[in-house]
Amino acid sequence: MINVQNLLFTYSGNAEPTLQGLDFTIAKGEIFGFLGPSGAGKSTTIKILIGILKNYQGQVTVLNRELRRINADYYESIGVAFEFPNLYSKFTALENLRFFSKLYKGPTTNPLDLLTMVGLETDQNTRIAEFSKGMKMRLNFCRSLLNNPDLLFLDEPTSGQDPVNLRKIKDIILEQKSKGTTVCITTHDMHVADSLCDRVAFIVDGKIALVDSPRALKLQHGSRMVRVEYRDKGSLKNKDYSLDSLATNQDFQNLLSSFPVETIHTQEATLEDIFIKTTGRKLQ
Amino acid sequence: MKKIMALALADIKNITRDSTLILVLFGTVVLYIMVWFLIPLLSALLLDKLVFNLADYYLLIICFFSLIPPLLFGMITGFIILEERDEEIITFIAVTPVRKTGYLAYKLSISMAAAITSFYVLAYTNSLAHIPLLYSFFPAIMIAMETPITALLIASFAENKVEGMAFGKLAGIMFLAPFIYYFVPSHWKYLAGILPPFWVTGTFFTAGSNISLYWLYTVIGLLIHGLVLAVLLKIFINSQR
Amino acid sequence: MRLLNAIHIDITFQFRHGFYYVYLFISVLYLLILFNLQQGIRETITLLLLFIDTTMLGFFFIGAIVLLEKGQNILQSLFVTPLRLSEYIIAKVISLSILAMASALIIVTPIHLSIINFPVLLFGLWLSVIFFTLFGLIIAARSQNVNDYFAKALGLGLVASLPLAQYLHIFSTPLFYVLPTRATLILLEAAVKPTGLLHIIYAFICLLVWNSLAAFLAYRYFYRHVLVGTGAL
């Protein structure tokens, strides 16, 4: 779907390249996450992939076409939602979506269905000027889905959403995946990356530090231990056991039978830990 | 005083960074060049070629030109307010001890001072026509008040810059007031009295000749200016999102 | 289809921002004033109003429109759809020229008996409106905010208005013939008084050349300074 080789990019006026040779491939139907602190090159990468920044070096093939040779028809088959969205503030949600849907040649999704999916159906006739930031972001998310894209680019799709709407957006992204849509996400929210992405790439200082699936990373970087929290005469205590011989571990069995157990957790690493460990940086 | 200084410092920084100051200076210079050089030149040419005596209209011309600084500065201030509202700077200032009223008072008094200065320089450095200095005080006050009127017309009603342009265009109608006063012979012209500059023109044309009428126009003019300004201020304070 | 849709949204946008109400009001006001003027001076003033109000309508508004779309990130959303930059620019030009021409039709009614060449008036005005809208787009692409746009537009607008000196019989130089506004004034005058065919042909060619140049520069500057640069993304 997307094949990037040795991608270099320098903004005019900058001495240092913002992207210093990226390599990655994204398969069809995959949800791929770009993780990294702001300024690391996430947005620049996305801007290149959506064909806005053209004078890059290296090979970028998207939908079997070299990106330098694409024209505006490329946008028939992709959907993009930016982090700071805005639509025409004096138009209603529905008017905005209708206008944008008429810019596409191919079949488009009914704007009302999209609004219903993100819980904005009761606000369809409200002007955007009266929308909250979260509502605007959800509307903008709808806009990116209008043309049934083969490829979806989402920049921080979940920031500023309450848990209910966060759930809705995640579900829609997963539903898109099940329809065969390829999704590229940038985020600095590790939980979102963990629960959505098939694979994640850590980007720091214009380089990819690591690419793998969240599950593989967590297992690989974690310790194979389980931690038991229990009550001993009113005070909270904990004890760690190796996962490997847990079934025959007598000490573990004794603890379970003699104390009230409160929690049991395996000690795989969080994405946040791995990020800090591999890049030496914090995410925020 | 310290608060005002802080606001002024921020403005000076802004002004050096964008072209607002250039716009103010440039507009004023063009205005002075017209009044000092172009109008006398035009006048001589017209007299020579078309036997048309522009000198008959000098007072009208000066009156018209006196309105340009308040309307121009008012528009600029209006757009600064709109811009700062978009960038949420006003919300930010409103939660400091300066408050929204302090912010507004500061912005508007700066542009009023600029308009009043510009009026006096223009009115008493040109060789075309002027009203007796003794009678210039009240027209000057009214002219100064037209700055916040124009600024607030844009800042109170417009939701954004584009609407601001539409209201700015509408505010431009005020430029017609002197011509209506001068050229419309019937009493219908007093309908144009809802345009504040109409009364400024009235004082201009009665200052040296008809003193009782001058005072009548001054009183009505100040009332109209005060009323329009008060209404706009109220709308602006209440309408802030 | 895409283009028509873009024009439709631009006209609706302008309508909702009050452009049509403001222009209806102002045009009717002009109409009342013009009706009250004496014959002879009425034609001069009408053409003057058409020149400074109608032809510069796009110049006056396009800066604020583009800067608003840029500031509110609407351009970001627009240019990740199949909408072409050329279509975006054409839609802006056409929508604003519709408003300008409608206003012009109201303003010319008091002198309709004096008009001897209506097509020249309409077509000349239309080309001039297009030129000034494109000119405004070029300036807007390089402006930070509305006051910045004003400053640049005021300066360049004054230069563009220089041929008015010839119209008002103050001063004339052959250099004026290079400016598109000289052509505009020739065509406006040609509408009410007999003018040589050569003059009219010159004026149309002059405006067409300037319009092509402006369209080229508007596209280029918009692409460079708004789309790729700091602007849209």
**Residue A46, SS3 per DSSP:** helix
Residue C158: closest C-alpha in chain B: B30
Q: Give the up-direction half-sphere exposure of residue A261: CA atoms within 13 A in the CB hemisphere.
A: 13
CATH number of A2-215: 3.40.50.300
Residue C183 is predicted with a pLDDT of 94
Whether C16 and A91 lie within 8 Å, measured CB to CB: yes
Residue B18 is predicted with a pLDDT of 61
pLDDT single digits (tens) C161-182: 899 888 877 778 888 889 999 9
Is the pLDDT assigned to residue C232 strictly greater than 60?
no
Q: CB neighbours (10 Å) of residue B95?
A: 9
The CA distance from C60 to the nearest CA of chain B, in Å, is 8
Long-range contacts of C26-31 (CB under 8 A, 24+ apart): C26/B169, C26/B170, C26/B173, C26/C53, C26/C103, C27/C103, C27/C106, C27/C107, C28/C106, C29/B173, C29/B176, C30/C106, C30/C107, C31/C106, C31/C107, C31/C109, C31/C110
- Sort out which chain B residues have CB atoms less than 8 A from C17's CB and list them: 160, 162-163, 166
Please state whether beta strands A19-26 and A2-9 pair in parallel, antiparallel, or not at all (unpaired). antiparallel
Report the share of chain B in percent with pLDDT over 70. Answer: 95
Mutation test of the interface with chain C: which of A98, A102, A104, choosing the one with the most C Cβ atoms within 10 A? Answer: A102
Residue A141 is predicted with a pLDDT of 92
DSSP calls for C154-217 = HHHHHHHTTTHHHHTTS---GGGGGSHHHHHHHHHHHHHS---HHHHHHHHHHHHHHHHHHHHH
Domain boundaries, chain A: 2-215, 223-267
Phi, psi of B177 (to 5 degrees): -50, -50
Handedness of CA A175, A178, A180, A186 (dihedral sign): positive
pLDDT single digits (tens) A9-42: 988 778 888 898 899 999 999 999 998 887 788 8
Residue B47: closest C-alpha in chain C: C170
Asked if B239 has any chain A CB less than 8 Å from its own CB, the reply is no
Q: What is the mean pLDDT of chain C?
A: 90
Asked if B45 has any chain C CB less than 8 Å from its own CB, the reply is yes
Of C60, C61, C147, Cβ closest to residue B19: C147
Whether B86 and C152 lie within 8 Å, measured CB to CB: no
Residue C231 is predicted with a pLDDT of 35
Band of residue B84 on the pLDDT scale cut at 50, 70, 90: confident
Residue C233 is predicted with a pLDDT of 39
Residue C115 is predicted with a pLDDT of 86
Please state whether beta strands A235-242 and A207-212 pair in parallel, antiparallel, or not at all (unpaired). unpaired
The CA distance from A33 to the nearest CA of chain B, in Å, is 31
Report the share of chain A in percent with pLDDT over 70. Answer: 99
- Sort out which chain C residues have CB atoms less than 8 A from B27's CB and list them: 154
Is the pLDDT assigned to residue B201 strictly greater than 80?
yes
pLDDT single digits (tens) A37-68: 877 888 889 888 988 887 889 999 998 888 88
Please state whether beta strands A57-62 and A2-9 pair in parallel, antiparallel, or not at all (unpaired). antiparallel
Asked if B189 has any chain C CB less than 8 Å from its own CB, the reply is no
Chain A residues 37-56 with CB within 8 Å of chain C: 43, 47, 50, 52-54
pLDDT single digits (tens) B24-33: 777 888 888 8
Of B181, B220, B186, whose CA–CA distance to B201 is shortest?
B181
Whether C83 and A84 lie within 8 Å, measured CB to CB: no
Whether C12 and A85 lie within 8 Å, measured CB to CB: no
Query: What subunits touch chain C, counting only 3 or more CB pairs under 8 A?
Result: A, B
Is the pLDDT assigned to residue B11 strictly greater than 80?
no
Whether C82 and A104 lie within 8 Å, measured CB to CB: yes
Whole-angstrom Cα distance, residue B18 to residue C225? 17
- Sort out which chain B residues have CB atoms less than 8 A from A90's CB and list them: 159
The CA distance from A88 to the nearest CA of chain B, in Å, is 12
CB C196 within 8 A of CB C186: no
- Sort out which chain C residues have CB atoms less than 8 A from A43's CB and list them: 233
Whether A50 and C80 lie within 8 Å, measured CB to CB: yes
Of B20, B30, B42, Cβ closest to residue C158: B30
Mutation test of the interface with chain B: which of C16, C21, C150, choosing the one with the most B Cβ atoms within 10 A? Answer: C150
DSSP calls for A243-282 = STTGGG-HHHHHHHHHS-EEEEEE-PPPHHHHHHHHHS--
SS3 content of chain A, % helix, strand, coil (to 5): 35, 30, 35
Q: How many CB pairs under 8 A join A and C?
A: 70
Chain B residues 145-184 with CB within 8 Å of chain A: 159-160
CB A209 within 8 A of CB A34: no
CB B81 within 8 A of CB B89: no
Is the pLDDT assigned to residue B200 strictly greater than 80?
yes
Residue C17: closest C-alpha in chain B: B163
- Sort out which chain B residues have CB atoms less than 8 A from C158's CB and list them: 30
- Sort out which chain B residues have CB atoms less than 8 A from C26's CB and list them: 169-170, 173
Whether B83 and C146 lie within 8 Å, measured CB to CB: yes
Query: B133 versus B149: which is more confidently predicted?
Result: B149
Mean pLDDT of C63-86: 88
Band of residue C112 on the pLDDT scale cut at 50, 70, 90: confident
- Sort out which chain C residues have CB atoms less than 8 A from B23's CB and list them: 147, 150-151, 154
Residue C227: closest C-alpha in chain A: A52
Helices (H) and strands (E) in chain C, counts: 11, 0
Residue A283 is predicted with a pLDDT of 60
Residue B180: closest C-alpha in chain C: C33
The CA distance from A158 to the nearest CA of chain B, in Å, is 24
Mean pLDDT of B1-27: 71
- Sort out which chain A residues have CB atoms less than 8 A from B159's CB and list them: 89-90, 129
Is the pLDDT assigned to residue A139 strictly greater than 70?
yes
CB C59 within 8 A of CB C153: yes
Asked whether the ipTM of the predicted complex exceeds the cut of 0.90, the reply is no
pLDDT single digits (tens) C24-46: 999 999 998 888 888 778 888 89
CB C14 within 8 A of CB C95: yes
Asked if B83 has any chain C CB less than 8 Å from its own CB, the reply is yes
Is the pLDDT assigned to residue C199 strictly greater than 80?
yes
Of C6, C8, C82, Cβ closest to residue A73: C82
